[in-house]
Structure 1
Amino acid sequence: MPTYTLIGTDGVPYESEAPGRLGGHRASRIYGRLNCPSALRAIGGGGYAAQRVFFADEVTAISAGYRPCAVCLPQGYRTWRDSADATRE
């Protein structure tokens, strides 16, 4: 049975029998859908795949310190942005 490397809430990779439902970019700390047009363009351009990480769900991605993608998760991004703005005020 294949295993998949996912990132946990603590940001540490672990092995899972289930594939990740969300993808992320380690350097930019952004997560989104696996079919995100922006991520797919970056992967096609090369270099992005080396920084790619995977998450079981949104709660895990957020707990690991990642923010939602503005392209494929616009509502989640707006909520994140508004909460980030509120903490700066």
Structure 2
Amino acid sequence: MAGYTLIGADGRPYLSPVKGTWGGHRRGEIYGRLDCPAALRAIARGGYVANRVLFADEATALTAGFRPCAVCCPDRYRAWASPP
């Protein structure tokens, strides 16, 4: 079965027949939209790709310890960065 490698809530990769709906950067522990302008610029420059990860959904990215991207998810980022 061909498929996609996604990151689970435990931070471990697994195979999925469905592409993830959110992307992320493993080293920066940041997640965001697949069409994030910052991520697309980094990919176009040849960076980022080696550390690119995919998530099935946003809840999984958060549970895996990733934070929202300030560029493509500014409201989520502000909520994450604000002290309780």
Tell me the TM-score normalised to structure 2 length.
0.96
Alignment-derived partner of residue 75 in structure 2: 75
1:43 corresponds to 2:20: no
Comparing 63-72 with 1-10, greater Cα deviation is found at 1-10
Q: How large is the Cα RMSD of the aligned pairs?
A: 0.9
Residue identity over aligned pairs, in percent, reads 62
Corresponding pairs, count: 84
Instruction: Please say which structure displays the higher CA radius of gyration.
Output: 1
Consecutive unaligned residues of structure 2, counting only runs of 5 or more, are none
Q: What letter is aligned with 2:63?
A: S
Q: What letter is aligned with 2:39?
A: A
Alignment-derived partner of residue 24 in structure 2: 24
For residues 7-57 of structure 1, what are the alpha-carbon distances to aligned partners after superposition, in whole Å with 9 as ceiling and x for unaligned?
A: 000000000011000000000000000000000000011121000000000
Alignment-derived partner of residue 61 in structure 2: 61
Q: Which has the higher helix share?
A: 1
Q: Which runs of 4+ in 1 moved over 2 A?
A: none
Alignment-derived partner of residue 34 in structure 1: 34
